[in-house]
């Protein structure tokens, strides 16, 4: 376990993030349900339902992990659409591919092990690029946002779903208690791993809040950037366009 790796150097951080996700890959879905009381499913549905996407589109889901977003997006792009799941972690991608295959989702899916900071795709190759609960883990977020912009076609949309800053004052102490007391307990009880969930709470607090992330998207070249808070800012959806 690795408590409090707040100030570790960049190369070490990347390695630690890899360890966190390799260690939780098998329990990842169960833990999401437990930690959020199932609400992450609602956030993900909303994220996909409001995406700018049409049948036949080619979509990249970055940090796609176990495939929740890709499975939902498949319904929107239909049989003629294509979904590329990109993730830096082979263990998460394998869980994703197995789950997708179990659900009968085979045609139109591609799995690519890649770092969001340096994408192995040509310019202008996707109609939509999504990243859900992933940007927080990326070391060089500015680079990842520039890459998302680069691989989008003109007119295409980028969408970021991520934990953000809680806006309701009364809720903050409850949220902190949940993050720092309950989460690590759930982690050790159900995943045998308190450290990874300690990391989760810390990474959420360090992630740029709503307005700052919007500014970062603008700096990466996106136009018409905006965000929408869900559940009082526990998470936010940021959008931007390539024009």
Number of C-alpha atoms within 13 angstroms, CB side, residue 33?
5
φ/ψ of residue 220, rounded to 5? -80, -5
Q: How far is the CB of 17 from ligand SAM (least distance, A)?
A: 5
The contact mask relative to ligand SAM for 47-86 (x = CB under 6 A, - = no) is: ---------------xxxxx-xx-----------------
φ/ψ of residue 114, rounded to 5? -155, 160
Site for ligand SAM in 137-156 (CB under 6 A): 137-138
Distance CA 147, CA 136 (A): 16
C-beta of 137 vs 179, nearer to ligand SAM: 137
| 98 in a labelled binding site | no
Helix axes 183-190, 28-36, angle to 10 degrees: 150
Q: Indicate the residue whose CB is closest to ligand SAM.
A: 65
Distance CA 224, CA 243 (A): 9
User: Does 134 contact ligand SAM by CB under 6 A?
Assistant: yes
Residue numbers belonging to the annotated binding site for S-adenosyl-L-methionine: 66, 87, 115-116
Which residues lie near ligand SAM (CB under 6 A)?
17, 21, 62-66, 68-69, 87-89, 92, 115-117, 132-134, 137-138
């Amino acid at each position: 376990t690795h408590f409090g790796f707040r100030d570790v150097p960049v190369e070490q951080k990347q390695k630690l993030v890899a360890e966190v996700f390799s260690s939780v890959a098998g329990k990842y879905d169960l833990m999401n349900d437990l930690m959020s009381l199932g609400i992450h499913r609602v956030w993900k549905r909303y994220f996909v339902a409001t995406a700018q996407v049409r049948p036949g589109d080619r979509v990249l889901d970055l940090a796609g992990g176990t495939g929740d977003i890709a499975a939902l997006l498949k319904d929107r792009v239909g049989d003629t659409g294509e979904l590329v799941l990109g993730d830096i972690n082979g263990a998460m991608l394998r869980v994703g591919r197995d789950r997708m295959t179990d659900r009968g989702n085979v045609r139109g899916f591609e799995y690519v092990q890649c770092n969001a900071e340096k994408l192995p795709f040509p310019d202008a190759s996707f109609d939509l690029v999504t990243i859900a609960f992933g940007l927080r883990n990326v070391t060089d977020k500015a680079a990842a946002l520039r890459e998302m912009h680069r691989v989008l076609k003109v007119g295409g949309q980028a969408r970021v779903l991520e934990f953000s800053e809680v806006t309701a004052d009364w809720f903050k102490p409850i949220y902190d208690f949940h993050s720092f007391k309950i989460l690590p307990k759930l982690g050790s009880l159900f995943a045998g791993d308190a450290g990874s969930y300690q990391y989760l709470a810390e990474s959420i607090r360090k992630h740029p809040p709503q307005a700052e992330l919007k500014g970062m998207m603008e700096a990466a070249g996106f136009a018409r950037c905006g965000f929408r808070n869900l559940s009082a800012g526990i998470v936010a959806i940021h959008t931007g366009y390539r024009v």
